[in-house]
Structure 1
Amino acid sequence: MHELGIVFHIIRSVEEVAAQNNLRRVSSVTLELGEVSGIIPRYLTDCWNWACAKHDLMRGAELVIEEVPAVTFCEACEKTYGTVEHGRMCPYCGSERTYLVQGDESVIKEIATPDEEGSAVSAADGCAHESLH
């Protein structure tokens, strides 16, 4: 189960962002998790609850997972399609000249804090927008 290692990486990243932004508590962390990332959300959540209980900054923080659908692009016909439903072969033209354009990511999108109502640090603000693998 590599999810525990991923959770520890997330917590370290959140602690760095918290230190840079003078955050005392974190109420939630939102992840963008690709449909074919290889990370099992249920395992991630179980590990999250256990690990957060051991860190004052993170105690009680919620993990919000936003699933990013896997999408593949076909270079032959220039169409996109659902990767999970159709695999590598393009359902429109049958070509295998395809590549994944989204759906394998695992990214911290937002870190919310209860210190101020509605306060959050997001990836757009330059926080921990990084791959978690």
Structure 2
Amino acid sequence: MSRAGAIAWQLAQTLWVGGLWLLHFVMLPALERIGLAPLLVDEVAATLRPLLVVFAGFCALLQALLLIQHAGLARLWRDARAQLLAAVLALAALFLLMRFWMPEALYWQNFSYLLLAFCGLLLVIQPLPLRRLESRAR
């Protein structure tokens, strides 16, 4: 992966994983703490969560394309990063499908949102997909 690809990987990962965690664990509790009405906090969550999930899916798709460029399709599924990205894309699709077909199933929407955030956290601790620069250094 080129230097620009590595930068794009890190930027996309930082934005979507950080956004998911920031909304759920910082923004919504802060809105509750300052005294906003619970229905208003729920409305903010209901508006921002789907937007962040779509953004996370887009960024994960970008990361998957960068990983395909780096590793190729032959070795892709043995890579833990590829498996986590596939899980992220599946969970994002599941969240959106449940929101469309079963809007009353808030527990499952929250569960898939938190699984999406957890998969993002696991992806953060994986190493960057970089080629060894030893041959260029010689």
Alignment TM-score, normalising by the size of structure 1: 0.27
User: Higher strand proportion, which one?
Assistant: 1
User: Higher helix proportion, which one?
Assistant: 2
